[in-house]
Amino acid sequence: MSGLEPFGARLRRAMDERGPLCVGIDPHASLLAEWGLNDDVAGLERFSRTVVEAVADRVAVLKPQSAFFERFGSRGLAVLETTVAEARAAGALVVMDAKRGDIGSTMAAYAESFLHKDAPLFSDALTVSPYLGYGSLSPAVALARENGAGLFVLALTSNPEGGEVQHAVRADGRNVGATMLGHLSVENAGEEPLGSFGAVVGATLGDLSSYDLDINGPLLAPGIGAQGATPADLPGVFGAAVRNVVPNVSRGVLRQGPDAVALRDAAERFAEEIRHAVAAS
């Protein structure tokens, strides 16, 4: 065993102490340019370190998008390793946004890359795709449990194309998104204060009252800020499950860089707005 408390317990405490905000670390080329940085490894490193130093000691979750590091090859992955380690050392939980999904030994290898306690890229949780069947995630579920980590499973995503799969209706009358939520509810049964197996559910989707979002696990909610959703929208979208929502803001915070104070102020403003919206629900 890793010695870590389960991810769900650690996340609940971080959300209660720091507010439920998740800040994305998405160093894509246009943001590097906005910061006056070159689209190279040096720019990547400067960008990532600035975000971590500005907010990792005060937000609950940081979510690096692995693709923006992977595009630079091994040197980019070295920056990602440092980013993860420094963020966790500052007290933030790290959700690796890698959206991995495969079968058998390949899924197990993906899990070992991010969820094994001795892996260079060990993260507190990993985003995963269940669209080779939820059972294909079994190696990741098992390794997450063993190492005190968690998963966020794509269920009802904010991209318009997602509905093609997630709204497809199965023979039992439930659609695929609802089926994924049902699987996660089973994974989290009996866990206190919060299960470690969450869903990705877009904050831009409007009224989701037809879905049972009470999975006793966290709901990672992209879409706040640049995609159009606001903290005030959260109670209307998530209803009674809003206390377990981890709203993700990326560009809404990152565009305030490279000034560290501006980044910090933006993160604190979003965190306070989210805290107020949840308390008022």
Rounded to whole angstroms, how far apart are CA atoms 156 and 164?
11
117 is a catalytic site residue: no
Tokens read off for 79: 């920056």
Rounded to whole angstroms, how far apart are CA atoms 262 and 206?
30
Tokens read off for 85: 């380690």
φ/ψ region of 126 (left if φ > 0, alpha if ψ in -120 to 50, else beta) reads beta
Q: Which residue has the tokens 């079994």?
A: 138
Rounded to whole angstroms, how far apart are CA atoms 155 and 219?
10
Listed residue (130, 137, 131, 133) closest to 111, CA to CA: 137
Is residue 233 helix, strand or coil?
helix
Angle 261-263-269 (CA atoms, 0-180°, nearest 5)? Answer: 100
Listed residue (68, 223, 241) closest to 159, CA to CA: 223
φ/ψ region of 73 (left if φ > 0, alpha if ψ in -120 to 50, else beta) reads left
Which of 13, 88, 99, 174 is labelled catalytic?
A: 99
| Phi, psi angle pair for 144, to nearest 5° | -60, -45
Residues forming the active site: 99
